Amino acid sequence: MSRLASLAAVGFELSALTVGELESRSPIDGRLLGRVARVSRADYDAAVARSAEAFRSWRAVPAPRRGELVRLFGEAVRRHKPALAELITLEVGKIGSEAAGEVQEVIDICDFAVGLSRQLYGLTIASERKHHHMLERWQPLGTVGIITAFNFPMAVWCWNAALALVCGNALLWKPSEKTPLTALALHRVLESVIRDFTDAPAGLSALLHGDRPVGEWLAEDTRVPLISATGSTRMGRDVGVKVAGRFGRTLLELGGNNAMIITPSAREDLAVRAITFAAAGTAGQRCTTLRRLYVHESRYAAILARLKRAYASLRVGSPQGADTLVGPLIDRAAFEAMQAALASAKAAGGIVHHGERINVEGMSGGYYVRPALVELASPIEASLKETFAPILYVFRYASIDEAIAANNAVTQGLSSSLITQDLSEAELFLSAEGSDCGIANINIGPSGAEIGGAFGGEKETGGGREAGSDSWKAYMRRQTQTVNYSATLPLAQGVKFDIE
Ligand code: UN1
C-alpha cells in the first residue's frame, strides 16, 4: 500500500474513503478497498452549471495556454505514476507492467495534446466572390461528458479529457462504478493542477460517481453537447439514441470482436506471442482483445499445439506477483459470463481447452481463470458476441478471401490483424477489399494500440475515433466563415437581388 502514499499530496487517501453507497472491491481477493458517495441529481445539476460557467472563460484562454495546463497535468501524472499504477492493479487487477502501461498512455496523450494545442489548424478557402475570403475555423464546443469503462479506467478518460481541454471545453466524467477510486485519484491530480493554474476556472472538470442514472442524465442533458462513451454495445445504443434525440453529438467506442489471421507464411514464434498477449493478456478484458483466430489449414495443427502449450504454462495469479501474466477477472459476473459462453460453445460442438477457475492461495474472493481456447468448425452464437473474458475461438481456413470475409462477418468492427510474410496478402488485408475495422495491423495483434493513431471502430463498435490523428475535431465546433472586404455586396452563384 505504501506506493499509494504519494497521492496524499493531492488529497487521496484510501483509508479515508469509508462512506458512500458505491463500494469498490478488489478483484484480486474481493476485499473492500473503499467507498465513495454517489452523486445526487442536485449535485449533478450544480456540477453541470459550474462547468457551463467554467467553459465561458476557458474557451477564451489561448489554446497553447490551455495546453500548458495539460502539460502540467502530464508532469503530475509522471510523478504519481507508481501510485496510480498500483491503484489500477488493486481496483482492476491488471498486472504491474500493464497498469504502468496504462498510466503511460495517460502521459503520452497529454504530450500529444500539448503539441496539438498549437496545431488546431483550420483552412483558408478560395471565395468565388471578388474581395472575399473564406475560412474554416474550429471553435470550442462546451461541456464534454465522458463515460468510461472499468478496463481502462484512466487512459480512455484521458484520451478524451486531454484533447477536450486543449480544445477549450469543460469536462464531466462518469467513471465505471467498478473503478471509482482509480477515477478519484486521477481526478484529484487534475484538480490539484487546476487549482494552481491561474487561467483555469474552478468548475473546469467534475467527477460524477454513480451508476446508470448518471449516464442517463448526461445523455439527456442539452447542456452537454458531446457525450463520449466507452463500454458495451448495449450501453452505446442506449446513450446514442438518447443523445441523438436531442441532436447532441456522440463519440462511441463500444464492443469489439477482434480477429487475427495466421497465413501460410506467418512466422510462428511471432504469431504465438502475438496471439497469446492479445487473447490472454489483461485477462481478455480489452476492447481490442483477440477473440477470433483464423489459421490457415496448413499451419493449424502446429499453431494449435503451440498455443495449447503456451496456455497451459501461462502464469495466472495475483497481479501483484512479479511474474504473473494473467490476473483476475473483474468480478463474479464476468466469470459467470465466461463459463456460460464456454458451456454454449461446448453444446454447439466446440472443443474447449482450459477456461477453468484457478484457486490462488489466500485469494478465494478473486475470480482467476486459465484463458480458454475453443476450436470451432464454423461461427456459433457465442463467437459472434463479445464476452469480456479470455476466450479465443479458433477456426481453420483455406483461402485468404475466405479468411478476410470471416474477419468481417461480425457486427463489431474495432480491430483486426494479419500475420504474414507475403506482401500481396498484407496489402489485400489493408486495401478497400480487406479488413472493415477501424484498426488493421500486420504482424501485430489487434490490441495495444499507440495513442498517435485514431482509435475506434466501425459498425456496432460505434464509429467514434479517439486519441491521435485528427480525433480532436470531434471536440470542436466547425465554423465556416466568409469575409467581404469590398464596398459592394455581390451574391454567391450570381444571384441578383437589386433593391431600389
Ligand atoms: C479499450 O480496451 O477500451 O489498444 C482500450 C489497446 C489500448 C486501449 C484499449 N491502447 O489495447
Cα–ligand 1 centroid distance for 289 (angstroms):
8
Active site residue 381: no
Active site residue 253: yes
* Measured distance CA(23)–CA(180) in Å, rounded: 8
* Measured distance CA(255)–CA(64) in Å, rounded: 35
The answer to whether residue 6 is domain-embedded is yes
The answer to whether residue 194 is domain-embedded is yes
pLDDT in tens, 207-246: 999 999 999 999 999 999 999 999 999 999 999 999 999 9
Beta pairing, strands 290-296 & 391-397? parallel
The answer to whether residue 499 is domain-embedded is no
* Measured distance CA(397)–CA(407) in Å, rounded: 11
Residues 152 and 234 in one domain: yes
Residues 274 and 247 in one domain: no
Spell out where 301-348 has E strands. none
Residues 305 and 428 in one domain: yes
Residues 238 and 271 in one domain: no
Residues 367 and 334 in one domain: yes
Q: What is the CATH number of the domain that holds 371?
A: 3.40.309.10
* Measured distance CA(446)–CA(448) in Å, rounded: 7
Q: Is the CB of 448 under 6 A from ligand 1?
A: yes
In this structure, are residues 231 and 256 in contact, taking their beta carbons and an 8 Å threshold? no
Residue bearing cell 468492427:
413
Cα–ligand 1 centroid distance for 450 (angstroms):
9
**Which of the four pLDDT bands, split at 50, 70 and 90, describes residue 492?**
very high
Q: CB pairs under 8 A, 24+ apart, for 240-245?
A: 240/462, 242/216, 243/219
* Measured distance CA(410)–CA(380) in Å, rounded: 11
Cell of 497: 437581388
Torsions phi, psi for 426 (to 5 deg): -60, -45
Residues 214 and 109 in one domain: yes
Residues 237 and 299 in one domain: no
Cα–ligand 1 centroid distance for 370 (angstroms):
22
Average pLDDT, integer, range 108-118: 98
Cα–ligand 1 centroid distance for 50 (angstroms):
31
DSSP H or E segment with residue 458: strand 458-459
pLDDT of residue 67: 98
For residue 321, give every residue at least 6 positions away whose Cβ sits within 8 Å of its Cβ, in sequence order, or none.
315
DSSP structure class, residue 4: G
Q: Is the CB of 287 under 6 A from ligand 1?
A: yes
Residue nearest to atom 7 of ligand 1 (CA): 448
Cα–ligand 1 centroid distance for 277 (angstroms):
13
pLDDT of residue 418: 98
Average pLDDT, integer, range 393-410: 98
Q: Is the CB of 152 under 6 A from ligand 1?
A: yes
For residue 50, give every residue at least 6 positions away whose Cβ sits within 8 Å of its Cβ, in sequence order, or none.
202, 203, 206
Ligand 1 pocket test: pick from 92, 108, 150, 152 the residue with the most ligand atoms within 8 Å of its Cβ. Answer: 152
- Provide the residue type at 87 as one letter: L
Q: Is the pLDDT of residue 200 over 90?
A: yes
Q: Which of 68, 86, 253, 386 is catalytic?
A: 253
Residues 221 and 274 in one domain: no
* Measured distance CA(92)–CA(153) in Å, rounded: 8
In this structure, are residues 271 and 295 in contact, taking their beta carbons and an 8 Å threshold? no
In this structure, are residues 124 and 206 in contact, taking their beta carbons and an 8 Å threshold? no
| Mean pLDDT of all residues belonging to the chain | 98
Residues 237 and 276 in one domain: no
Residues 211 and 332 in one domain: no
Residues 364 and 338 in one domain: yes
pLDDT of residue 2: 74
The answer to whether residue 493 is domain-embedded is no
Residues 242 and 353 in one domain: no
pLDDT of residue 374: 98
Percentage of the chain exceeding pLDDT 90: 99
The answer to whether residue 492 is domain-embedded is no
pLDDT of residue 465: 98
Q: Which atom of ligand 1 is nearest to the CA of 287?
A: 2
The answer to whether residue 309 is domain-embedded is yes
pLDDT in tens, 12-70: 999 999 999 999 999 999 999 999 999 999 999 999 999 999 999 999 999 999 999 99
**Which of the four pLDDT bands, split at 50, 70 and 90, describes residue 149?**
very high
Q: What is the CATH number of the domain that holds 87?
A: 3.40.605.10
Q: Is the CB of 288 under 6 A from ligand 1?
A: yes
Buried b (16+ CB within 10 A) or exposed e, 38-77: bbeeeebeebbebbeebbeebbebebeebbbbbbbbbebb
Residue nearest to atom 1 of ligand 1 (CA): 287
Q: Is the CB of 449 under 6 A from ligand 1?
A: yes
The answer to whether residue 117 is domain-embedded is yes
Cα–ligand 1 centroid distance for 155 (angstroms):
8
Q: Which of 287, 386, 425, 460 is catalytic?
A: 287
pTM of the complete model: 0.98
Q: Is the pLDDT of residue 1 over 70?
A: no
Domain count along the chain: 2
Structural domain range at position 438: 258-442
The answer to whether residue 448 is domain-embedded is no
Ligand 1 pocket test: pick from 252, 287, 291, 412 the residue with the most ligand atoms within 8 Å of its Cβ. Answer: 287
The number of CA neighbours under 13 Å toward the Cβ of 300 is 15
* Measured distance CA(420)–CA(389) in Å, rounded: 27
- For 209, other C-beta atoms within 10 Å of its C-beta total 21
